[in-house]
């Protein structure tokens, strides 16, 4: 069980990061309330609604990621142990990345054979998606290479998302007034916790993030 101080950093991070989207949503709704009926159907009102929705989605993601981490730390999930092919796992995560986060994986290179792992499909897909999102946002516009290698020591299977410069594990110290607008810090922490709950981990090596999965049962 992680020490309280270490766990508290997640709560402190969310408490800090949630202030901006909350203020934005409240400000936008207040402006809409002040508008007359004729203005609420105009272009300005549409922009206010879109701003509010983006802020609320940001808040929802922060809260959802935080409580998912907490449940994983408390072993509150009954994780499935299905056999999963890593090619299908990664390709499914890429598709979700485009659908849910607006990050296209067009042009990315995926190299995988028949490697497999065992785990909860939804959770592992979420972990891969979050890790790929972290690297993609750190290298905007660059094509990523995702390579699944064969079994290594300890029976783990590595997946690396490589880019021109080494990806770095995000820090919890918030830099700048906008903080972590993309949610990379908490998302990366959640991806790590999901892998750890399955007996794997994330490490940084040779200019890539490597997701180490447990071997297939």
Here the CATH number for the domain that contains residue 9 is 1.10.287
pLDDT at 145: 79
- Dihedral sign (CA 92, 208, 172, 175): negative
Total structural domains in the chain? 2
Helices of type H across the chain: 4-17, 19-34, 43-73, 86-101, 121-138, 184-197
pLDDT band at 27 (very low <50, low <70, confident <90, very high): confident
**Parent domain of 19:** 4-73
Which of the residue ranges 36-40, 43-47, 148-152 would you say has the lowest mean pLDDT?
A: 148-152
Q: CA neighbours within 13 Å on the CB side: how many for 135?
A: 31
Asked whether the predicted pLDDT for residue 61 surpasses 90, the reply is no
Asked whether the predicted pLDDT for residue 37 surpasses 50, the reply is yes
Give the residue-averaged pLDDT of 56-85. 89
The CATH number that applies at residue 189 is 3.30.565.10
Higher pLDDT pick, 12 / 22: 22
Give the residue-averaged pLDDT of 167-185. 54
Of 19, 54, 73, which one is at a domain's C-terminal end?
73
């Amino acid at each position: 069980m992680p020490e309280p101080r270490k766990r508290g950093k997640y709560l402190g991070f969310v408490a800090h990061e949630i202030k901006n989207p909350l203020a934005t949503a409240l400000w936008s709704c207040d402006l809409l309330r002040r508008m007359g009926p004729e203005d609420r159907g105009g272009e300005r009102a549409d922009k206010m609604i879109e701003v509010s929705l983006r802020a609320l989605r940001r808040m929802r993601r922060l809260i959802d990621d935080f409580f998912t981490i907490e449940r994983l730390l408390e072993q509150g999930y009954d994780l499935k142990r299905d056999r999963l092919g890593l090619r299908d796992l990664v390709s499914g995560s890429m598709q979700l990345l485009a659908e849910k986060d607006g990050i296209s994986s067009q042009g990315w290179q995926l190299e995988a054979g028949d490697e497999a792992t065992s785990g909860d499909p939804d959770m592992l897909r979420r972990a891969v998606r979050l890790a790929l999102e972290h690297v993609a946002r750190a290298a905007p516009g660059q094509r990523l290479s995702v390579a699944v290698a064969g079994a290594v020591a300890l029976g783990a299977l590595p997946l690396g998302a490589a880019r021109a410069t080494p990806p770095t594990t995000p820090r919890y110290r918030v830099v700048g007034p906008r903080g972590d607008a993309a949610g990379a810090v908490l998302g990366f922490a959640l991806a790590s916790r999901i892998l750890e709950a399955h007996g794997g981990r994330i490490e940084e090596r040779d200019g890539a993030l490597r997701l180490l999965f447990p071997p297939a049962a």
